[in-house]
Amino acid sequence: MTRLARPSRRVSLVGLLAAALLATPLIAMSTPAAAQPVAAPAPALIPKPTSQQALAGQDYSLKPWSVVGVDSSSKERRAAQKVADQLTSQLRRSTGYPLPVVPVVPGLTDIKLSTNGPTSLGAEGYQLRVDRKGVSVTAATPEGLFRGVTTLRQLLPAKADAGTRQAGPWNLAGTAIADSPRFGYRGTMLDVSRHFFSVAEVKRYIDLASLYKLNKFHMHLADDQGWRIQVDSWPRLTTYGGSLEVDGTPGGSYTKAEFAEIVRYAADRYLQVIPEIDTPGHTNAALASYAQLNCDGVAPPLYTGTEVGFSSLCVGKQVTYDFLGDVFREVAQQSPGDVIHLGGDEAHSTPHSDYLTFVPKAAAQVTKQHKRVMGWQEIAETPLPPGSIAQYWGTDDARSQELARKAAAQGAKVVLSPANRAYLDMKYDDSTPYGQDWAGLVSVQTGYDWNPSTLVPNLPEGAIAGVEAPIWTETLDNLDKLEYMAFPRLPGIAELGWSQASALDWTAYKDRLGAQGSRWDALSVNFYRAPEINWR
């Protein structure tokens, strides 16, 4: 039984019906005969859907009297309503249309959003149809509805994403789409340790990542240069360990309320936050904050350089594991997601035998909080708890490939973040004004033109959880630089994670990518206008 969705503009349903019916002739009389919608070219969607069929002669245009209908079960009503509200708040801004949200009323609600679709659609799948009668997005869950509405936004003219009112028409080409993701893990990572980014800046990055159906937001919250998440039981981690950043400018950290705001904002866009506390290396911020964490009992100074591999927690001291227990408990309390990332990379100052002792003990502190362990590929050297995820960051080197296979061999999943393809801090080419090049230069094509299933030889497809594009911020200290490095390459990783392998074709993708340029202009994204792309 579909309970009535509360109209989101606090007016009675009858009033809405009357308004919509009254408005029709008035608007029809007062505006020139609506131009017959011109058949728009089949819009370029990223990620490419599983199936997309053009419906000739079935174009539709949003009208001033368009009404959004929500069809959902009572238990999903609130979440479905929120998806409808997110869509209409953006479209009201750009179209100026009232776009009320009401329960579905055939003949009135020309945009129908439903979570009563078949369970065969899966958690993130959806069906979308545009025809002469209107638009319908059907999913089995609110998450799937959100993914479908994300596609609907790309079917509208790019100006629909503008922050200010734009002139119509708001044409939609007739189409029938059925879609669901190839991989369940489609992520990006933001390093807020090397340079700190405010809640507002993080929200902007989440907004842009969600446009391409990413569903994991990995936050690199602690490293040598800064500790960024509040731990009440070890307060100096943020008050002192979070005070600086690379180059010695003021750093920062998230209070529990601020981190909760980030988690909520991400969840509203169906991205799960995965918090990373990098250990045992990359720990100078913690070591500088608490002398007792150091083997020699002496706290090093805060570090604002960009070297790696010089720090290590003290594997032989019990206080190290008491510390980790407190940290992972408080981080787990702040993270509703099922995964905590314990780092594990570049432990060059941890004797290898100590590393093999440390990781299982740190992992035990994560599983104690009923969370799955995630870590960089090096953790595959140790026996991993069930449900673990190893993050491959190799450059096609034999050692990294061996670690990925080792992880799979013990039943762990693998997330692919090849540094020479998916690291968004890598320069595009020699002229890129910032970023790094230790993994090579990563052009837009290099970042897209690879297949997750075949990247690592003899890595079983069943072990691959998906892909993730990290952006490390040693050289990126503001949002403009982040956007420049992430766009246009992040959508390519998103497509590799979502679309079927058969859909992956650089020439076709390159053309679809070019059509995103006008959308990024509407969104004021500071993207790199790679000369090899036909931006339009």
By CB under 6 A, name the binding residues for ligand IFG.
308, 345-346, 376, 393, 423, 425, 436, 472
Q: How far is the CB of 284 from ligand IFG (least distance, A)?
A: 12
Amino acid identity, position 528: Y
Cβ closer to ligand IFG: 469 or 503?
A: 469
Can the peptide bond before residue 460 be classed as cis, meaning omega within 30 degrees of 0?
A: no
Cβ closer to ligand IFG: 437 or 532?
A: 437
Cβ closer to ligand IFG: 330 or 345?
A: 345
Cβ closer to ligand IFG: 110 or 468?
A: 468
Q: What is the rounded distance in angstroms from the CA atom of residue 142 to the CA atom of residue 71? A: 11
Residue reference for tokens 């497809």 = 461
Q: What is the rounded distance in angstroms from the CA atom of residue 111 to the CA atom of residue 423? A: 39
- Reply yes or no on whether 346 is catalytic: yes
DSSP-based three-state secondary structure for 14:
helix
Q: Spot the catalytic one: 346, 381, 461, 532.
A: 346
Q: How far is the CB of 416 from ligand IFG (least distance, A)?
A: 13
Q: How far is the CB of 374 from ligand IFG (least distance, A)?
A: 12
Can the peptide bond before residue 47 be classed as cis, meaning omega within 30 degrees of 0?
A: yes
CA distance readout (Å), 505 to 151, 419, 455: 20, 21, 16
Q: How far is the CB of 312 from ligand IFG (least distance, A)?
A: 14
Cβ closer to ligand IFG: 60 or 393?
A: 393
DSSP-based three-state secondary structure for 172:
strand
Phi/psi at 216 (5° precision)? -130, 130
Estimate the crossing angle of helix 479-486 against helix 199-210, to 10 degrees.
20
Cβ closer to ligand IFG: 423 or 528?
A: 423
Are 179 and 126 in contact by the 8 Å Cβ rule? The answer is yes
Q: How far is the CB of 399 from ligand IFG (least distance, A)?
A: 13
And the tokens for 62? 């949003």
Q: How far is the CB of 478 from ligand IFG (least distance, A)?
A: 18
Residue reference for tokens 């919250």 = 221
Q: Is 122 left (phi over 0), alpha (psi -120 to 50) or beta?
A: left
Q: What is the rounded distance in angstroms from the CA atom of residue 95 to the CA atom of residue 88? A: 10
Phi/psi at 66 (5° precision)? -60, 145
Cβ closer to ligand IFG: 79 or 426?
A: 426
Phi/psi at 54 (5° precision)? -75, 140
User: What are the percentages of helix, strand and coil residues in the chain, rounded to 5?
Assistant: 35, 15, 45
Q: Which residues contact 353 (CB under 8 A, 6 or more apart)?
A: none
Active site residues: 346
